[in-house]
């Protein structure tokens, strides 16, 4: 599985995922990533077939309306 880790989560989470054999990229690693809109991140995730890992409820709600891809894992604790 390939992950796109959203800005509300620490970049170190990508390190943790990579150490476990998962491909991951933090939005801060993308060109101008921290300034990209949710729509642009959604489209990037769709094109690259990524699972979006986020604390942002907007991505979860977007997935209910637009479906897959990308898949969304909405973190609600922490």
Separation between Cα atoms, residue 32 and residue 22, nearest integer Å: 23
Q: How would you write the pLDDT of the chain (78 residues) with one tens digit per residue?
A: 899 999 999 999 999 999 999 999 999 999 999 999 999 999 999 999 999 999 999 999 999 999 889 999 999 986
How much is the pTM?
0.91
Total domains in the fold of the chain: 1
Full residue range of the structural domain in which residue 58 is found = 2-74
Tokens of 43: 């489209």
């Amino acid at each position: 599985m390939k992950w796109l880790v959203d800005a509300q989560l620490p970049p170190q989470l990508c390190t943790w995922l990579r150490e476990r054999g998962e491909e991951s990229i933090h939005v801060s690693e993308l060109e101008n990533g921290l300034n990209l809109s949710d729509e642009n991140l959604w489209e990037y995730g769709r094109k690259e077939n990524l699972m979006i890992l986020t604390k942002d409820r907007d991505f979860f709600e977007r997935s209910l309306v637009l479906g897959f891809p990308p898949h969304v894992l909405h973190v609600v604790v922490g």
